[in-house]
Structure 1
Amino acid sequence: MNKPPLIWTNVSLFAITFIGAVFLVPWYGYQHGYGAGEWLAFIGFAFASGLSITAGYHRLWSHKTYKASSPVRFIFALGGALALQNSALHWSSDHRVHHKHVDNNDKDPYSANMGFWYSHIGWMLREYQAQRYHDYKNVRDLQNDKIVMWQHKYYLVLVVLMNIALPALLGWLNGDIIGMLLMAGLLRLVVVHHCTFFINSLAHVWGSQPYTDRNTARDNGIIALLTYGEGYHNFHHIFENDYRNGIRWWQYDPTKWLINLLNWLGLAKDLRVTPQERIETAMLQMQLKRTQSLVANLSNCDEALEKLQMEYELLKSHLADYYKAKKRLLEAKRKQLANKQLVLDVKELKKRFHTQQKNWRLLTATYA
């Protein structure tokens, strides 16, 4: 079967920038050295471009997990051009297709089932996309965003201004134009490119699946460190409309923290969060499925499976009762109708749920 023709613009871009980052950057550093200004610009530009992709292109425009003010959207549009990953309109269109057809080799633009190389960068090197869609019908809502359309129209101009003109200006102010172009421009671009690409490739092959195994997406804290919090990808693929990826306080998700900061400043609103009951239920279902597969190999598997199913149903019932009561309490508080008995009922149901949850963990641990 003949492969689609190469996209020579993309092939040249990725090849030249990568070779330059590998050879030219260290050579110039050996010959002339890099000062604190170049290193600070490298870090600053990396976060500016990376977070514009994760908080802007991804969680704001692709999934609409929150709403942002015009100044924030304008900054994300500039940062997206700095990241050099196509316009927000095109990126979001690709990404929505990915979520709709995840792991489908014929429809998913960067299906992980096509191999690491393909999902990481190969899908951008040939005319694969022409076989999948020819318009932006799936992002008609974004076509009503004037900032998105402005960036789409002037994308190439913005790319030059952000990736060449801005670093050159900073280099002139700092006294080393070439050094700044190499660090804040070239090296930063390659690092952010491949860290972002890890979300499509590495985050679909390395890590755990605590919430779903219906697709290849994985949760991985190490990948989160490289991708501004996007490494909790298993959670994201089942709860894509949640503005968070790392839902635990200790999970590294600077994109979530940025959105929270914008919300606190009044620059973002309507942050969408998945109900905790749905998250707990998804985790419980995965625990049951994994334990059932282990129990199936035991000699007394029928008895063990029956006990496991009984404990699962009991825990699921306690979970539903607790969250229903909690919801009633919140509604009563909003209407200023909450009473002491209702509060005590919620506490008691919470205690029962946690006790049964502990029993469930002990039971599943015996088969691990």
Structure 2
Amino acid sequence: MALITSQPKNPILHNSTTVHRSIPRLTNSLFFANNARTLKVSNFNSNSNKFSLGTNPFRTVPIISANVALTEALEPEEEGNVKYRRILLSDVEVKRERRVFFGRKWNSMDLGTAGVVLAMHVLSLFAPLCFNWRAFWVAMALYFVTGLFGITLSFHRNLSHRSFRLPKWLEYFFAYCGVLALQGNPIDWVSTHRYHHQFCDSERDPHSPTEGFWFSHMSWLFDTKSVVERCGEPDNVGDLEKQSFYRFLRSTYILHPLALGGLLYAMGGFPFLVWGMGVRVVWVYHITWFVNSACHVWGKQAWNTKDLSRNNWWVAVLAFGEGWHNNHHAFEYSARHGLEWWQLDMTWNVVRFLQLIGLATDVKLPSQAHKLRMAFHN
């Protein structure tokens, strides 16, 4: 959901979770084509660092979806005079099929993002030809450093949702780990993710599967124009904009992954570069993207969030607990996503450890009263 290339001081076009890309705000009108139901919208206040919860009605907009990808279901659903198609093995309907790769003009930002993503995938194809155990374990170590410490703990739970506080030196260290994941700088990543929660599964959501599974998974990253049209100028990351460290990472972002690639090559040659950059980056890419796509398509809903978020166990295993996505959408502020004892959440285990040794403070967890309000029987 993020921009791959370096950003200007106040970027308008770009992400991540992506990868991530910050998305600008354009209009205050919201629409969602699903029986005019009411969705929960969370608004992030960057000045207070708190979330306020509210409800917004969405009127039905009849839109005929275009041809869906081969991975999506073939049987259409009729709703009035409009035919919708369901995503394979899911009850989620594609309302507004989005064409990204053909029939539109690509700008330089789209080409830059797509070029880096493609380059990482091509580099990873050399993995079987240059396998060795040292390179493999380097990739595994960086998977934990950049994926767990960088993306799930820092970019997501600490910076996007302020689920806990860390000493600044440790907060900045974890954020730097996230930069090495090649998913964009923290300001852009966080901006996109906050907009996702604010406009979840509406027409202003940057990556909803109601516009197609592959759109929510990755292709939305390459359509800068559609993102700009949804939300307009980013105004939800004032807390990060005030800190010179995050502004520095935004202006120098692309240099840091390049430096890591050079270091890996110096340490172990081409095998280290292939496994430590290509394989590891692509692996973390798709795990991050599955939270956006699979966790809004397949799984179960434990809480009445009035959106498409699902708890998905296999994404939770791969993404260090991020797959308990319905739990997360119900209690966005919570540092713990795996709320049941059997719900594996490695990110929470790290946060809990940091709390026990006094490094993580103000750790937020859902109250029993909030759980009762979010339960389906209520």
Normalised by the size of structure 1, how large is the TM-score?
Answer: 0.70
* Correspondence 1:65 to 2:65: no
Q: Which has the higher contact order (CA 8 A, sep 6+)?
A: 2
Deviation of the 1:281 alpha carbon: 4.2
Partner of 1:239: 331
Partner of 1:211: 303
Per-residue CA deviations over 1:64-119 (Å, capped at 9, x if unaligned) read 111111222222222112111111100110111110000112x1111221111001
- Which of the numbers 188, 197, 201 marks the counterpart of 1:90? 188
- Which of the numbers 4, 27, 34 marks the counterpart of 2:129? 27
* Correspondence 1:138 to 2:138: no
Task: State the AA in 1 paired with 2:106.
Answer: P
Partner of 2:84: none
* Correspondence 1:182 to 2:274: yes
Per-residue CA deviations over 1:121-163 (Å, capped at 9, x if unaligned) read 011012222223453311111112333222222211112123x
Deviation of the 1:213 alpha carbon: 4.9
State the distance in 2 between where 1:123 and 1:225 align. 25
State the distance in 2 between where 1:246 and 1:211 align. 13
Deviation of the 1:185 alpha carbon: 1.3
* Correspondence 1:114 to 2:211: yes
SS of 1:83's equivalent in the other structure is coil
Which aligned segments of 4 or more residues in structure 1 are displaced greater than 4 angstroms?
none
State the distance in 2 between where 1:157 and 1:135 align. 26
* Correspondence 1:43 to 2:140: yes
Larger Rg: 1
Task: State the AA in 2 paired with 1:24.
Answer: F
Deviation of the 1:226 alpha carbon: 1.1
* Correspondence 1:99 to 2:197: yes
Task: State the AA in 2 paired with 1:27.
Answer: L
SS of 2:145's equivalent in the other structure is helix
Deviation of the 1:165 alpha carbon: 2.4
State the distance in 2 between where 1:4 and 1:217 align. 32
Partner of 1:18: 121
* Correspondence 1:272 to 2:364: yes
| Structure 1 segment 125-204 matched on structure 2, within 5 A | 125-127=222-224, 128-162=226-260, 164-171=261-268, 177-204=269-296
Name the stretch that deviates more: 4-13 or 225-234: 4-13
State the distance in 2 between where 1:248 and 1:207 align. 16
**Count of residue correspondences:** 273
State the distance in 1 between where 2:140 and 2:228 align. 36
Structure with more of its chain in helix, by fraction: 1
Name the stretch that deviates more: 54-63 or 7-16: 7-16
Q: Percent identity?
A: 30
Per-residue CA deviations over 1:46-76 (Å, capped at 9, x if unaligned) read 0111121111111111111111112222222
State the distance in 2 between where 1:133 and 1:216 align. 20
Partner of 1:79: 177
Structure with more of its chain in strand, by fraction: 2
Per-residue CA deviations over 1:150-195 (Å, capped at 9, x if unaligned) read 2222211112123x12322432xxxxx1111111111000000001
State the distance in 2 between where 1:141 and 1:281 align. 29
Task: State the AA in 2 paired with 1:109.
Answer: P
State the distance in 2 between where 1:169 and 1:229 align. 34
Q: Evaluate the alpha carbon distance shift between residue 49 and residue 64 of structure 1 in structure 2; reply closer, same or farther with a 3 A threshold.
A: same
Normalised by the size of structure 2, how large is the TM-score?
Answer: 0.69
Per-residue CA deviations over 1:325-363 (Å, capped at 9, x if unaligned) read xxxxxxxxxxxxxxxxxxxxxxxxxxxxxxxxxxxxxxx
Q: Evaluate the alpha carbon distance shift between residue 265 and residue 151 of structure 1 in structure 2; reply closer, same or farther with a 3 A threshold.
A: farther
Mapped contact 1:10–1:124 kept (Cα < 8 A): yes
* Structure 1 runs not aligned, ≥5 long: 172-176, 290-368
